[in-house]
Amino acid sequence: MSDLVPVIRSDAHLAHAGLIELASGVEIPCFESPERMIAIEAALLADGGFAFEEPNQHGRAPILAVHDAEMIEAFEHAWTDAVAAGAADGSRPWLPDTFLLAAYRGPMPASELPAGRHHQLGAYLFDTATPIVAGTWGAALTAVDVAVTAAERVVGGAALAYGLCRPPGHHAARGMLGGYCYFNNAAIVAEWLRREGGARRVAILDIDYHHGNGTQQIFWERGDVLYLSLHADPARAYPYFSGYASEGGAGDGAGLTRNWPLAARAGLDDYAVALAEALRMIVAFAPDAPLVISAGFDTFERDPIGDLALRTQDYREIGRMIAGLRMPTITLQEGGYAIDALGANAVALLTGLRGA
Ligand code: SP5
Ligand code: ZN
């Protein structure tokens, strides 16, 4: 294949910046930074095999098809309400400090909600690594447009398209933000393929270092979407509360979720065994839509928050293995924080995916 691979990208993510996260009680610069996308774009440009395109606007309908309206509303207004209340002055990111857990209620019925939508956000957030600044809402909306535009390219005939989504998405559940994620770009694309793309069966392959708890939750009971994830064992790794091998979906979705928890320092040999099983499941499921890949490079051997051991050349082999499915493929960017290697890793995966 000699055609250029379409890469959907936007500068809107640059305003989702200056982020901090709380890690084990310590405030640190957020690993999820604009420099990540800048590094990937520079490497794709230098490679020359890619055609950069801006996203089309799709509005809120594709988001509302996946996420709760109440969560969207709290997120949309959290920053301006925080500023209006004097809880943020615009110079620093804002994070809720009070979270609504299921255990809060016990036998009590749902209460009224606080007026400030920044306080409401505590009912829709599960960690302290998902900060909000003035540009966060716009960046998250645009990341969805990036993802859906990549899907449009593939439905329109491209064999492969790459959506440079930032912020990432796979930790965002139907009514919950977290893990640097606000809207679940991959889940939105899968649902869009069902509703707008005429597909009946969609497969999502998640190769980020972390379990995609949000994607799994959204499609847990769905018989029309297969969710397969290779990731660090949640017994030791974020997000801790999902991604175990025992989790397999329920109802119509029974057997259509599958997880491969990986040991620390797992390299390509271990990874390829799990990936081959996942690819066989995709073949058996017989999707009639493009494959959706949640692509994270936090599986890299030098990733600052990961502990797997994939090397740059391994991503090319992983891409080749997936390309063996001979399915049109929508690749969406998730995590990956070793900024100096992100570009090479992305080029390697996409080179493999395009069958080279
Ligand atoms: C999309 C994605 O990859 N989200 C990951 C969110 C992970 N957030 C928690 C990170 C915990 C970092 N622990 C730092 C250990 C440094 N040695
Ligand atoms: Zn990750």
| Residues 123-153: b if buried by 16+ CB within 10 A, e if exposed | bbbbbbbbbbbbbbbebbbbbbbbbbbbbbb
Q: How far is the CA of 286 from the centre of ligand 1 (A)?
A: 34
CA-closest residue to ligand 1 atom 12: 305
* pLDDT at residue number 196: 97
Q: Which residue owns the Cα nearest ligand 1 atom 14? A: 305
**pLDDT recorded at residue 1:** 47
Element (H, E) at 121: none
Mutate to test the pocket of ligand 1, among 26, 95, 176, 180 (most ligand atoms within 8 A of CB): 180
Indicate which residue's Cα is closest to atom 1 of ligand 1: 335
**Residue numbers in the chain where pLDDT is lower than 70:** 1-2
* Residues whose beta carbon lies within 6 Å of some atom of ligand 1: 23, 129, 168, 171, 179-181, 208, 210, 238, 296, 298, 305, 334-335
State in Å: Cα 44 to ligand 2 middle. Answer: 21
What angle is formed at CA 207 by the lines to CA 188 and CA 55, rounded to 5 degrees? 40
Annotated active-site residue 77? The verdict is no
CB 262 within 8 A of CB 255: no
The closest ligand to the CA of 29 turns out to be 1
Catalytic position from the list 16, 170, 171, 231: 171
pLDDT at residue number 2? 55
